[in-house]
Amino acid sequence: MALPTSDTRVTYPDGALTSTGTVLHIEPRADGRAAVVLDETAFHPVDTAWPDQPADHGVLVSGSDEFEIRDAVTGVIHEGVLYLGRDLPVRGGTEGWIFVVAHIVDGPGPAVGDTVEIRVDGEYRRALSAGHTACHLASLALDAALADAWTKPVATDALGNPAFDALAIATSRIDANGSVDVYRIGKSLRKKGFTPATLDDLAAVELRANTLLEQWRSAGGAIRIERDAPELSARRTWVCELQGGRTDIPCGGTHLTDIHQLDQITVSLATNDIDGARELTMTTSTR
C-alpha cells in the first residue's frame, strides 16, 4: 500500500474542531486496531518527541460508519516504513522525512480513498487549550518570580527574565484545565548561577507568581498561533499580547484566543530532594 508523500495538513492550530479529509493509508496493528492517516485533520495528536498536550477526543465518520478515535499520535515515514508513537527515530522537521497524524480506531477501520469527517469533542479541547494557555503563562510567571535567584547573566525568556523554565524543565504535562511541570535543580543549574536557597521560602515565590498571573489574567490579552505552513512539521509559535510585553514561544499545541477567557489561574509549588538534586513541581490549575 502506497504511503503518503507529504505531511498531514493540520487545522487544529487555528482552533478547528471539524475537518474533512481523504484516507491515504491504513496501518493494521497487532492489537486489532488500525492507524488511519488522512491528508488533512483537525484532530490534535500527542507529540511523541515532547508529549505535553494529550490527544483530542472525538470520532472519525465515514459514510454511515462512525469510529471512535481511541488515540492519536504523531508518526514519521522514512524509506517506505511508517513509524508510530515511541518508535519515532527522529524529531519533527527533519529534512526528507514525512510527518503524519495517525488516528487510532478499532480495526479494520475505513478504506483507503474514503472521504471522512473528523469531529473533535469541543468541551474537552477547550479544557486542554485552557490548560495549555495556563501552562505557558505559569512558566513565564515562575521565571519572573525567580528572577532574583540568579547571580550570573543567563538566557532570558520572552519577557526578558532569566529563563528558569527553559533551563530547568524536566517534564511538562497538560491536563484538562491544568498542568504539572517538573523542574530539576542540580549542579549544572547552580553553576549557571541559580541560588537554590531561593526555594526555601516557597510560599513567597508562589505568591509572587500568583500575583503576576492574576494581573495578566484580569488585564487580558489576545493569543494566536503563528505559522508559515499548514503541514504538521511546520514551525508554530504561540504569540500572546501580554501586559508587559509580547511573547513568542515555540508550541505545537492548542490554545484559547484570549487570556480573558480564563476565570482563574493559580499555581502551587512543592519541592523534594532526590539524589543530591532538588526537584520543583509546579501544579497549575485554571477554569
Least Å from the CB of residue 174 to Zn ion: 8
| C-alpha span between 78 and 88 (Å, rounded) | 10
- Positive/negative CA dihedral, 58, 63, 65, 70: negative
Helices 202-219 and 122-145 cross at an angle (nearest 10°) of: 120
Least Å from the CB of residue 281 to Zn ion: 18
Least Å from the CB of residue 125 to Zn ion: 15
> With contacts defined by CB under 5 A, how many residues of the chain interact with Zn ion?
2
- Which member of 240, 253, 265, 284 binds Zn ion (CB under 5 A)? 253
Q: Contact at 8 Å (CB) between 181 and 135?
A: yes
How far CA 145 is from CA of 161, 199, 249, in Å, comes to 9, 11, 19
Nearer CB in complex with Zn ion: 21/253: 253
Q: Contact at 8 Å (CB) between 23 and 110?
A: yes
Q: Is residue 13 a contact point for Zn ion (CB under 5 A)?
A: no
Least Å from the CB of residue 251 to Zn ion: 3
Nearer CB in complex with Zn ion: 271/283: 283
Contact set for Zn ion, span 96-135 (CB under 5 A): none
Q: Is residue 163 a contact point for Zn ion (CB under 5 A)?
A: no
Least Å from the CB of residue 236 to Zn ion: 9
Per-residue x/- marks for Zn ion, 232-251, CB under 5 A?
Answer: -------------------x
- Positive/negative CA dihedral, 149, 151, 154, 157: positive
Matching residue, cell 470520532:
59
- Catalog residues that contact Zn ion under the rule CB under 5 A: 251, 253
